[in-house]
Amino acid sequence: MALKYRFAFSGAVVSSLYVTGAAFPACIAAQSVEASTVAGSWTGQFGRGQWTFEFRHEGGTWSGRYMDSRFQRWHSLHNIRVSGRSVSFNIESSPQLSFSLSVDEANAVLSGMATVPDIPAGTGIPYSGTRTP
């Protein structure tokens, strides 16, 4: 069963984050840095609710899930890609949302944008969250 959301846009233009994938395999040390930077739980404001994203790095594979505090139910993240401090992924919704987020230098804030197909380039819905225990 797909979870469906409806989003309203104010027409405000915001900067897009672009995530670039590594062209070469990362060494083990780099994977450890990525895992410790992005992995964990992050809770923050998205749209009209509090959303929590949770990322896990096990056996060289990334997985994740999310929850909107209004519905109190976990859902899977899809197509997770991690590069350094950046993570991008999709969630199953109508319309489909694609997130491009980055962890700040202090390793305390995960922020960026969610984009939706068929809206002008450069617009999106901002997300900013902090680590949660």
Read off the pLDDT band of 35 (50, 70, 90).
low
Read off the pLDDT band of 57 (50, 70, 90).
very high
Domain covering 32-132 in this structure, CATH number: 2.40.128.20
Q: Evaluate if residue 63 carries a pLDDT over 90.
A: yes
Q: Work out the average pLDDT over 7-22.
A: 31
Query: Which pLDDT score, from 0 to 100, does residue 96 have?
Result: 87
Q: Which two tokens stand for residue 41?
A: 């739980």
Query: What are the angstrom distances between the C-alpha of 92 and each of 17, 56, 81, 107?
Result: 20, 19, 16, 27
The answer to whether 114 and 93 are in contact (CB under 8 A) is no
Read off the pLDDT band of 116 (50, 70, 90).
confident
Q: Evaluate if residue 5 carries a pLDDT over 60.
A: no
Read off the pLDDT band of 119 (50, 70, 90).
confident
CA 1/CA 117 separation, integer angstroms: 21
Q: What is the pTM of this model?
A: 0.72
CA 39/CA 47 separation, integer angstroms: 23
